[in-house]
Structure 1
């Protein structure tokens, strides 16, 4: 059985700008606004590759943004919702469910805090112990020096 595979057109940013009659910088700005709401376009070999559907999306964005009362953020959000690129509304979670989901996190945070406190105390004990050892070594060196000075003075007389 013979299967025909058709490759969907892939336009570069420059080609999309030519198709829409917009500067390349405007296409990049539109991309940034889409990225803010989580919409990403396809990349091929590290470069953006726009499909025919993407061209339609950008045409619609251009048309929507042409209205005087429309901001770019509103236009991008409206187009994204129209083409089902993002959900219309976030799922509604009841307050009780939110509280229940927070309880395990609070317990986990307390466990993490107690672990940190224990490690901090252990580290503090180690530092104090090292400081005492250093002080004892310095004292021993001073006593050794005193003995050598006394012996030196004793034999020089």
Structure 2
């Protein structure tokens, strides 16, 4: 063991149970599942487990992850072991991790929240502008469609009137031809 590990306190399962407000049997169960997932705990010469500060962090992380819906204890243990391997939590750097700032101040939170609100307001304003543009485009399109429809109706009416005039002229022509036919056919 390194000097840092030897200087750390070793907690018993009972100490951890009190610290985490769990039963000793639950602590042992969690430790067994973590070991099966590849996590290593300290064991004395008699094979009894001892828990370092970093083990407490790992157990807390397991409790946190397993509380998510649809997460089995084994899945949570695998996730914790992966997390430990990625974050390199070890006995020597546990105290450093504990001293790192985990929370932001109220002022930092308010600043973050204000920035979020500003961004949200910008998105809302952009959405309003886009809606206005879409409304104007729709009005413009509706106006042009009405105008086109009216022009189409006018052209159709003119075409219909022209056809009626042509038909009337053809009837009149036929009537004149018929009169002359009658006139010339009586003389014969």
TM-score normalised over the length of structure 2: 0.40
Larger Rg: 2
**Structure with greater helix share of residues:** 2
